[in-house]
Structure 1
Amino acid sequence: MSSTLKFLDLFAGAGGLSEGFIRAGFKPIAHVEADASACFTLKTRQAFHWLKNNNSIDLYSKYLKNEITRNELYSAVPISEIDSVINEIIGPDTLDKIFQKIDQELGQSKLDLIIGGPPCQAYSLIGRARGNMIDDPRNHLYKYYAEFLKRYKPKYFVFENVLGLLTAKSPEGELYFDKMKSLFIEIGYSIEYRVLSANEYGVLQNRKRIILVGKRRYRGKKSFYPEIEKWVPEVNVWDLLKDLPKINAGGGKASPLELIAKPSQWLKQAQIFTTLPLTWHEARPHSEQDLEIYKFAVNLWNNQKRRLHYDDLPEHLKSHKGRNSFVDRFKVVAGDLAACHTVVAHISKDGHHYIHPDIEQNRSLTPREVARIQSFPDDYYFENVSGKPARTSAFKQIGNAVPVLLAQKIAEQLLRDW
């Protein structure tokens, strides 16, 4: 199959889904994303791919080392690469503008594939538990997704979302997922979906997501859902962490650091390790109380293989009033397990749910460590609007992303079936 199949990424975020499809051989025509910082991340990654494909990757390395500015990096690639990232909120007031930009990028070419999924907060169980999401406008973003399908009529689309979508209901009591499927069928697509767990596809994370695949005007009787090749490597979470510099709370930096050990073979197989500079190994500062709780939690796991329940803490460390909810708010990313718990965007608020397993380092995870859990390559740089590193923005982008390896496995099988 030709490697020139073209795709559009909607609600692209930091580009985890897109990166997997690019690795498999698909070509991005455009990315549409509302968050300005994530758009700069996408632009920088577009620059990376162009420079790599044109034997100029040394320029990207200079950028990571702060030897050239972001503007200088972008000016080294065709402007069309940068302009293909469209920073817009998808909605009724912006559709025509977005269509015009995509049409310009496409030229006379045909769009083969649309990927992406609307923001998941309105569908997620956590989001619904924290507030009334029933009237959240994000519940209806799938309708605009359908507008792109109607306009460009790709052969396939791949739609990703959280498990909560299966049970989220409209004010009328209808399941949003049923409304969504009916709409996709109405505009000419057969649809199939499965719940995929990232840890079955090379990702060291227990992350389950709905992956819905649509195929245009399919009249066959056999399933067209890609039979994705599974990969469960015989490694554990320490393989993600042990070659990174040992730092304490508040230590490290967003700019490049050297590895302290040879990367595991798995990091190379997963294409996480790269020879380019490694960035974003910068730890949050923490209060003395939090650091004491972290040590307590790590000791409990190391000595008893038991997770910390909030009531387990000594009284002088219990400062939260709500002691009967979110009782596992402090959680160790256990290095001796085959996969860690799910990374979510809340990591941008605090690191309590992602405590490093090394009691000597005594801190929460860095953006680079979380990016590795999400299977992003080490040369993936997470941007901020201002151009200055912003750890909170990096955490948010990483937490919202689709694991790159999962996306790659889906894309590779889809390409075989094409």
Structure 2
Amino acid sequence: MSEGSAFLKKIERLERGEAPRLVDLFSGCGGITLGMERAGFRSLAGVEIDEHAARTYANNFHTGSVGVAHDITTLDPAHLLGVSSGAVDGLVDAVMGGPPCPSFTRVGRAKLREVMDHPEAFKLDPRTTLYLHAVRFIRDMKPLVVVIENVPDVLNQGGECVGETIAEQIESLGYDVTYSLLNSSNYGVPQFRDRFILVGFHKSLGVSPSLPTATHKAEIPRGYTSSRRVALRLVETLEVSHWSPVQFLGDGAQPAVTVGDAIRDLPPIYEHLHREQRRGAKRLQTPVSLPDQELGSYAHEMRYWPGFETDVVLAHETRELTQRDYRIFARMAAGDEYPAAHGIGMGLWKESGGLVANERMFVPPYDPSKFPNKWAKMDAARPARTLMAHLGKDSYSHIHYDSDQARTLTVREAARLQSFPDGFNFSGTMNPAFRQIGNAVPPLLAHALGEQIATDIGLRKGSDQVSSVAS
């Protein structure tokens, strides 16, 4: 199919009322897809190398499929779609995805330097150039819409604005492109999370892309604003032609959704406080009935997200820790971090008599001067700090605000904070489930993006019908 006819046929199909068909690259468990499907798009396939995440994606979006993991570096688009190579460019209306970001983040760069013993190891990490495979899929599939997501530091990777480079490469394929940094708390997600978002529309659409207006007011913590300044340093000093600042809703903006709004209605958990630590993987298959009660708007949305409605949840189980940690959690105040936790442990040890032999029964082992953010107790009245993939190893970064429960998050609570609905279930045991959530794009952020794209290209809200795809 000629390049021009491929785009025109897709526009004609949308004008007939068909839903835009998407492929989600580096899909993870499907945060982008979930939000985009709610905005009227339909998933054809996800590309994900992690087996658990690939199964999660298949179970939630393609019921009955196996959920095969794919390595995008060796994957042929025709093989993914099950068609001949000549038919690839006629099937897909939207390509989106977030290439893995460890080499873009400052934390990731430090770890790579340590492992590879090279001061610029992050530039040698093959994950730095995985976005080139996304460009390859865009070139072959010829979508009308492109969405690329990543961490803010993609705008300043060792003095290079990789975000602008990606924009230029996509532009060279015939797209109008724009990008910005969006914080999920400004879009109704109960979590502070900055993300680089790029949107491209093929020129055949005849319209320029835009980014969704921020609908919620949130006081972004100082640490996020300072990190953002570092990420934006090159945007502000170099000539970048694709950057667009986020527009904010004025007086009609809603207050930020808080941790309490997100998880207060979930059943409390106390039994860990009355037993010794139990080792072993948790299978997350125990159903928990949700109480019949008046719900806030966010909790209601999580229970009754279209297509994922439920009154029973899985994965509402907490990680088993030590009685030492539970004692400290109970005494921590909202917003307390590791130095406060360490001080509480020291106080408990002294109360016990201060015997050297039992210090570790009360005092956690990390140097508080070196690990100031390792523990943090959430504040019910504010959005949560960013959920990271490291939740798969420990979840002390998100201690429950309820001192009576004195515990860390459950998988279901983490999913709520990332805006995954209660009927969305995760493959694997607790650790891979936490990792999938921490790696995901918040579905509500993706939904806001999908709604804006639908508006820009003329898709009628709440319908598969198209009023004027290319005017």
Q: Under a length normalisation based on structure 1, what TM-score does the superposition of the two structures give?
A: 0.80
CA RMSD of aligned residues (A): 2.6
Please give the per-residue CA displacement for 1:240-281, whole angstroms capped at 9, x wherever unaligned.
222212113659953211123525231355344433521110
Which residue in 2 is equivalent to 1:166? 155
The code of the aligned residue for 1:258 comes to S
Please give the per-residue CA displacement for 1:138-160, whole angstroms capped at 9, x wherever unaligned.
00101100000110111110111
Q: Which has the larger radius of gyration?
A: 2
Tell me, yes or no, if structure 1 residue 111 matches structure 2 residue 97: no
Off by >6 Å, runs of 4+ in structure 1: 105-108
Of the three residues 309, 334, 343, the one matched with 2:339 is 309
Q: Retained in 1: the 8 A contact 2:210–2:456?
A: no
Q: Retained in 2: the 8 A contact 1:191–1:215?
A: yes
Q: Retained in 1: the 8 A contact 2:328–2:345?
A: no
Structure 2 SS opposite 1:157:
strand
Farther-moved stretch of structure 1 (119-128 vs 235-244):
235-244
Structure 2 SS opposite 1:379:
coil
Which residue in 1 is equivalent to 2:171? 185
Please give the per-residue CA displacement for 1:31-77, whole angstroms capped at 9, x wherever unaligned.
111011111111110255xxxxxxxxxxxxxxxxxxxxxxxxx3xxx
User: How far apart in 2 are the matches of 1:237 and 1:362?
Assistant: 16
The code of the aligned residue for 1:230 comes to T
Unaligned runs of 5+ in 2: 1-14, 114-121, 217-253, 274-281, 347-358, 458-471
Unaligned runs of 5+ in 1: 49-73, 75-81, 385-389
Q: 1:356 to 1:405 in 2, by over 3 A?
A: same
The code of the aligned residue for 1:111 comes to V
Of the three residues 297, 300, 307, the one matched with 1:266 is 297
Tell me, yes or no, if structure 1 residue 126 matches structure 2 residue 107: yes
| Identity %, equivalent residues | 31
Of the three residues 124, 127, 134, the one matched with 1:145 is 134
User: How far apart in 2 are the matches of 1:258 and 1:406?
Assistant: 28
The code of the aligned residue for 2:28 comes to G
Q: Retained in 2: the 8 A contact 1:139–1:176?
A: no
Aligned-pair CA distance for 1:226: 3.5
Q: 1:416 to 1:329 in 2, by over 3 A?
A: same
Aligned-pair CA distance for 1:402: 0.7
Aligned-pair CA distance for 1:207: 0.9
Of the three residues 306, 331, 352, the one matched with 2:396 is 352
User: How far apart in 1 are the matches of 2:292 and 2:403?
Assistant: 19
Aligned-pair CA distance for 1:350: 0.6
Q: Retained in 1: the 8 A contact 2:427–2:433?
A: yes
Structure 2 SS opposite 1:392:
helix
Which residue in 1 is equivalent to 2:331? 296
How many positions carry a matched residue from both structures?
367
Aligned-pair CA distance for 1:16: 0.8
Aligned-pair CA distance for 1:109: 4.6
Aligned-pair CA distance for 1:321: 4.7
Q: Retained in 2: the 8 A contact 1:254–1:282?
A: no
Tell me, yes or no, if structure 1 residue 26 matches structure 2 residue 6: no
User: How far apart in 1 are the matches of 2:303 and 2:190?
Assistant: 12
User: How far apart in 1 are the matches of 2:293 and 2:83?
Assistant: 46
Q: Retained in 2: the 8 A contact 1:248–1:283?
A: no
Q: Retained in 1: the 8 A contact 2:345–2:364?
A: no
Structure 2 SS opposite 1:380:
coil
Which residue in 1 is equivalent to 2:385? 341
Aligned-pair CA distance for 1:135: 1.6
